[in-house]
Protein backbone atom coordinates (compact mmCIF):
# COMPACT_ATOMS: atom_id res chain seq x y z
CA UNK A 1 0.00 0.00 0.00
CA UNK A 2 1.56 3.23 -1.11
CA UNK A 3 2.10 5.99 1.45
CA UNK A 4 0.49 9.41 0.98
CA UNK A 5 -1.79 9.41 3.98
CA UNK A 6 -4.73 11.71 4.65
CA UNK A 7 -6.43 13.02 7.71
CA UNK A 8 -10.17 12.42 7.30
CA UNK A 9 -12.71 14.84 8.65
CA UNK A 10 -16.50 14.93 8.54
CA UNK A 11 -18.22 18.26 8.06
CA UNK A 12 -21.92 18.80 8.58
CA UNK A 13 -24.36 20.86 6.57
CA UNK A 14 -27.11 21.07 9.19
CA UNK A 15 -30.23 22.67 7.77
CA UNK A 16 -33.41 23.72 9.48
CA UNK A 17 -36.33 26.04 8.81
CA UNK A 18 -36.79 28.96 11.19
CA UNK A 19 -39.35 31.71 10.68
CA UNK A 20 -40.02 30.65 7.08
CA UNK A 21 -36.37 30.68 6.01
CA UNK A 22 -33.82 27.96 5.46
CA UNK A 23 -30.99 28.20 7.99
CA UNK A 24 -27.64 26.46 8.34
CA UNK A 25 -25.71 25.80 11.53
CA UNK A 26 -22.35 27.57 11.57
CA UNK A 27 -19.55 27.79 14.10
CA UNK A 28 -16.98 30.48 14.65
CA UNK A 29 -13.60 28.81 14.63
CA UNK A 30 -11.59 28.98 17.87
CA UNK A 31 -8.42 27.46 16.40
CA UNK A 32 -6.06 27.86 13.50
CA UNK A 33 -6.37 27.74 10.59
CA UNK A 34 -9.12 30.24 9.82
CA UNK A 35 -9.21 31.36 13.47
CA UNK A 36 -12.27 33.56 13.93
CA UNK A 37 -13.83 32.64 10.60
CA UNK A 38 -17.22 31.02 10.26
CA UNK A 39 -17.28 27.42 9.15
CA UNK A 40 -19.39 24.32 9.04
CA UNK A 41 -19.16 22.19 12.17
CA UNK A 42 -16.94 19.16 11.79
CA UNK A 43 -14.32 16.93 13.32
CA UNK A 44 -11.96 14.11 12.57
CA UNK A 45 -12.99 10.50 12.17
CA UNK A 46 -11.86 8.55 15.22
CA UNK A 47 -10.01 5.22 14.99
CA UNK A 48 -12.98 2.91 15.32
CA UNK A 49 -15.67 5.08 13.79
CA UNK A 50 -17.39 4.57 10.48
CA UNK A 51 -18.18 7.82 8.65
CA UNK A 52 -21.83 7.90 9.61
CA UNK A 53 -20.90 7.37 13.26
CA UNK A 54 -18.70 10.43 13.13
CA UNK A 55 -21.54 12.33 11.49
CA UNK A 56 -24.10 11.45 14.15
CA UNK A 57 -21.63 12.05 16.96
CA UNK A 58 -20.87 15.52 15.62
CA UNK A 59 -24.53 16.27 15.09
CA UNK A 60 -25.26 15.27 18.68
CA UNK A 61 -22.35 17.35 19.96
CA UNK A 62 -23.35 20.44 18.03
CA UNK A 63 -27.09 20.42 18.40
CA UNK A 64 -27.44 18.63 21.71
CA UNK A 65 -30.45 16.80 20.34
CA UNK A 66 -30.56 13.09 19.60
CA UNK A 67 -31.37 13.66 15.97
CA UNK A 68 -29.78 10.73 14.25
CA UNK A 69 -31.42 8.95 11.41
CA UNK A 70 -33.67 6.95 13.73
CA UNK A 71 -35.34 9.58 15.88
CA UNK A 72 -36.32 12.77 14.11
CA UNK A 73 -34.43 14.54 11.40
CA UNK A 74 -32.29 12.94 8.73
CA UNK A 75 -28.59 12.39 8.12
CA UNK A 76 -27.06 11.35 4.81
CA UNK A 77 -23.69 11.48 3.14
CA UNK A 78 -23.23 14.28 0.63
CA UNK A 79 -19.83 13.97 -1.03
CA UNK A 80 -16.13 14.05 -0.29
CA UNK A 81 -13.73 16.93 -0.92
CA UNK A 82 -9.99 16.46 -1.18
CA UNK A 83 -8.48 19.28 -3.20
CA UNK A 84 -4.78 19.17 -2.28
CA UNK A 85 -4.87 22.84 -1.30
CA UNK A 86 -8.09 22.87 0.67
CA UNK A 87 -6.41 22.75 4.10
CA UNK A 88 -3.14 24.59 4.82
CA UNK A 89 -2.22 22.01 7.47
CA UNK A 90 -1.76 19.29 4.87
CA UNK A 91 -3.75 16.63 3.12
CA UNK A 92 -7.20 16.52 4.68
CA UNK A 93 -10.14 14.80 3.04
CA UNK A 94 -13.51 16.02 4.24
CA UNK A 95 -16.63 13.91 3.94
CA UNK A 96 -19.68 16.15 3.84
CA UNK A 97 -22.87 15.03 5.58
CA UNK A 98 -26.23 16.65 5.17
CA UNK A 99 -28.52 16.83 8.20
CA UNK A 100 -32.14 18.00 8.10
CA UNK A 101 -33.50 18.78 11.55
CA UNK A 102 -36.56 20.45 13.07
CA UNK A 103 -36.25 23.89 14.54
CA UNK A 104 -34.10 23.29 17.62
CA UNK A 105 -33.18 25.47 20.57
CA UNK A 106 -30.06 27.60 20.22
CA UNK A 107 -26.97 25.45 19.69
CA UNK A 108 -24.13 25.17 22.17
CA UNK A 109 -20.69 25.73 20.66
CA UNK A 110 -18.49 22.63 20.47
CA UNK A 111 -14.98 22.36 21.86
CA UNK A 112 -13.13 23.98 18.96
CA UNK A 113 -15.59 26.81 18.43
CA UNK A 114 -16.10 30.10 20.19
CA UNK A 115 -19.66 30.50 19.01
CA UNK A 116 -22.29 28.77 16.94
CA UNK A 117 -25.42 30.10 15.33
CA UNK A 118 -28.17 29.44 12.85
CA UNK A 119 -27.77 31.63 9.79
CA UNK A 120 -30.08 32.04 6.77
CA UNK A 121 -28.40 30.17 3.93
CA UNK A 122 -28.65 33.10 1.54
CA UNK A 123 -26.91 35.45 3.97
CA UNK A 124 -23.86 33.33 4.61
CA UNK A 125 -20.64 35.09 3.73
CA UNK A 126 -17.43 33.36 2.70
CA UNK A 127 -16.71 30.43 4.96
CA UNK A 128 -13.45 28.76 5.99
CA UNK A 129 -11.84 26.06 3.83
CA UNK A 130 -14.05 25.03 0.89
CA UNK A 131 -17.17 25.11 3.04
CA UNK A 132 -19.02 27.46 0.68
CA UNK A 133 -18.89 24.73 -1.90
CA UNK A 134 -20.02 22.11 0.62
CA UNK A 135 -22.91 24.31 1.74
CA UNK A 136 -24.02 24.94 -1.84
CA UNK A 137 -23.98 21.21 -2.54
CA UNK A 138 -25.96 20.50 0.62
CA UNK A 139 -28.62 23.10 -0.11
CA UNK A 140 -29.01 21.90 -3.68
CA UNK A 141 -29.29 18.31 -2.47
CA UNK A 142 -32.02 19.29 -0.01
CA UNK A 143 -33.87 21.30 -2.66
CA UNK A 144 -33.93 18.46 -5.12
CA UNK A 145 -34.48 15.68 -2.64
CA UNK A 146 -37.72 17.01 -1.18
CA UNK A 147 -39.08 16.84 -4.73
CA UNK A 148 -39.16 13.08 -4.88
CA UNK A 149 -38.92 11.97 -1.24
CA UNK A 150 -40.85 12.67 1.95
CA UNK A 151 -37.74 14.17 3.57
CA UNK A 152 -39.34 17.58 3.97
CA UNK A 153 -41.05 16.12 7.02
CA UNK A 154 -37.59 15.76 8.62
CA UNK A 155 -37.67 19.51 9.11
CA UNK A 156 -40.86 19.18 11.17
CA UNK A 157 -41.44 18.07 14.74
CA UNK A 158 -43.03 14.62 15.21
CA UNK A 159 -46.51 16.08 14.82
CA UNK A 160 -47.16 18.92 12.46
CA UNK A 161 -49.83 20.55 10.32
CA UNK A 162 -50.04 20.59 6.54
CA UNK A 163 -49.35 24.31 6.62
CA UNK A 164 -46.15 23.75 8.60
CA UNK A 165 -45.04 21.24 5.97
CA UNK A 166 -45.89 23.67 3.21
CA UNK A 167 -43.81 26.39 4.91
CA UNK A 168 -40.89 23.97 4.77
CA UNK A 169 -41.22 23.54 1.03
CA UNK A 170 -41.65 27.26 0.54
CA UNK A 171 -38.59 28.07 2.66
CA UNK A 172 -36.35 25.48 1.03
CA UNK A 173 -37.44 26.39 -2.50
CA UNK A 174 -37.95 30.13 -1.85
CA UNK A 175 -41.23 30.05 -3.71
CA UNK A 176 -44.91 30.11 -2.82
CA UNK A 177 -47.14 27.09 -3.23
CA UNK A 178 -50.91 27.07 -3.55
CA UNK A 179 -52.15 25.98 -0.10
CA UNK A 180 -55.16 24.15 -1.51
CA UNK A 181 -53.34 22.15 -4.16
CA UNK A 182 -50.56 21.41 -1.70
CA UNK A 183 -53.05 20.09 0.83
CA UNK A 184 -54.62 17.77 -1.72
CA UNK A 185 -51.27 16.59 -3.00
CA UNK A 186 -49.69 15.63 0.31
CA UNK A 187 -52.77 14.19 1.95
CA UNK A 188 -53.59 12.06 -1.08
CA UNK A 189 -50.06 10.66 -1.44
CA UNK A 190 -50.34 7.27 0.20
CA UNK A 191 -48.14 6.80 3.26
CA UNK A 192 -46.80 10.35 3.39
CA UNK A 193 -48.95 11.75 6.21
CA UNK A 194 -50.89 9.91 8.90
CA UNK A 195 -53.66 11.98 10.50
CA UNK A 196 -53.90 12.22 14.26
CA UNK A 197 -57.16 12.99 16.08
CA UNK A 198 -55.73 16.26 17.34
CA UNK A 199 -56.75 19.68 16.11
CA UNK A 200 -54.60 22.66 17.02
CA UNK A 201 -56.75 25.28 18.71
CA UNK A 202 -55.79 28.80 19.66
CA UNK A 203 -54.94 29.97 16.17
CA UNK A 204 -56.80 32.50 14.13
CA UNK A 205 -58.89 30.42 11.75
CA UNK A 206 -60.26 26.92 11.48
CA UNK A 207 -58.10 24.62 13.66
CA UNK A 208 -55.77 22.52 11.52
CA UNK A 209 -55.27 18.82 12.02
CA UNK A 210 -51.96 17.39 13.26
CA UNK A 211 -50.26 14.70 11.19
CA UNK A 212 -47.35 12.33 11.74
CA UNK A 213 -44.94 11.01 9.12
CA UNK A 214 -46.17 7.93 7.35
CA UNK A 215 -44.08 4.98 6.16
CA UNK A 216 -43.53 6.29 2.63
CA UNK A 217 -40.08 7.60 1.78
CA UNK A 218 -40.49 8.19 -1.94
CA UNK A 219 -42.99 10.52 -3.61
CA UNK A 220 -44.51 9.21 -6.84
CA UNK A 221 -45.28 11.24 -8.74
CA UNK A 222 -42.81 13.78 -7.44
CA UNK A 223 -43.57 17.33 -6.32
CA UNK A 224 -41.73 19.45 -8.83
CA UNK A 225 -40.35 22.90 -8.21
CA UNK A 226 -41.76 25.66 -10.37
CA UNK A 227 -38.32 26.40 -11.83
CA UNK A 228 -38.27 22.82 -13.05
CA UNK A 229 -41.72 22.95 -14.50
CA UNK A 230 -41.36 26.19 -16.42
CA UNK A 231 -38.65 25.31 -18.93
CA UNK A 232 -38.10 21.99 -20.57
CA UNK A 233 -34.30 21.87 -20.53
CA UNK A 234 -32.41 24.07 -18.09
CA UNK A 235 -29.25 23.72 -16.10
CA UNK A 236 -27.52 20.69 -14.73
CA UNK A 237 -28.16 19.35 -11.26
CA UNK A 238 -24.63 18.00 -11.23
CA UNK A 239 -24.04 14.59 -9.83
CA UNK A 240 -21.37 15.01 -7.19
Query: Based on CB atoms, which residue is closest to DNA, 12 or 152?
Result: 152
The DSSP secondary structure of 88-146, one letter per residue, reads TTS-EEEEEEEEE----SPP---TTEEEEEEEEGGG----STTHHHHHHHHHHHHHHHH
CB-CB neighbours of 63 under 10 Å: 23
Instruction: Report, in Å, the least distance between residue 4 CB and a second copy.
Output: 5
Query: Residue 202, by phi and psi: left (phi above 0), alpha (psi -120 to 50) or beta?
Result: left
Q: Which of 76, 159, 183, 212 binds DNA (CB under 7 A)?
A: 183
Contacts with DNA, 162-181, as mask; x by CB under 7 A: xx--------------xxxx
Is residue 208 a contact residue for DNA (CB under 7 A)? yes
Q: For DNA, which stretch binds (CB under 7 A), given 103-111, 112-120, 121-129, 201-209?
A: 201-209
- Catalog residues that contact a second copy under the rule CB under 8 A: 1-2, 4-8, 44-52, 74, 76-77, 79-84, 89-93, 95, 98, 141, 145, 148-149, 151, 189-192, 214-218, 220-222, 224, 228-229, 231-240
Instruction: Report, in Å, the least distance between residue 152 CB and DNA.
Output: 15
Q: Which does 204 bind (CB under 5 to 8 A by kind): a second copy, DNA, none?
A: DNA
Q: Which does 19 bind (CB under 5 to 8 A by kind): DNA, a second copy, none?
A: none
Of the candidates 211, 213, 18, the residue with the CA atom closest to the CA atom of residue 104: 18
Is residue 157 a contact residue for DNA (CB under 7 A)? no
Burial readout 70-106 (b: 16 or more C-beta within 10 A, e: otherwise):
eebbbbbebbebeeeeebeeeebbbbbbbbbbbebee
**Beta pairing partners, 99:** 14, 75
Alpha-carbon distances of 240 from 71, 135, 163, rounded to whole Å: 28, 13, 33
Residues that bind DNA (CB under 7 A): 161-163, 178-181, 183-185, 187, 199, 201-209, 221-224, 226, 229, 232
Amino acid sequence: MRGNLFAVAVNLVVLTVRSHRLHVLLIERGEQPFLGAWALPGGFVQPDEDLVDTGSRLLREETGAETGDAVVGHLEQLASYADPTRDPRGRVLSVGYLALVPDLPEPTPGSDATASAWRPVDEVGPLAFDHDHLLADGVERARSKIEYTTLAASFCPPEFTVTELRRVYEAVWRSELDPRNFQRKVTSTDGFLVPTPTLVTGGRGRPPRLFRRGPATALHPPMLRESHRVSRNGDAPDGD
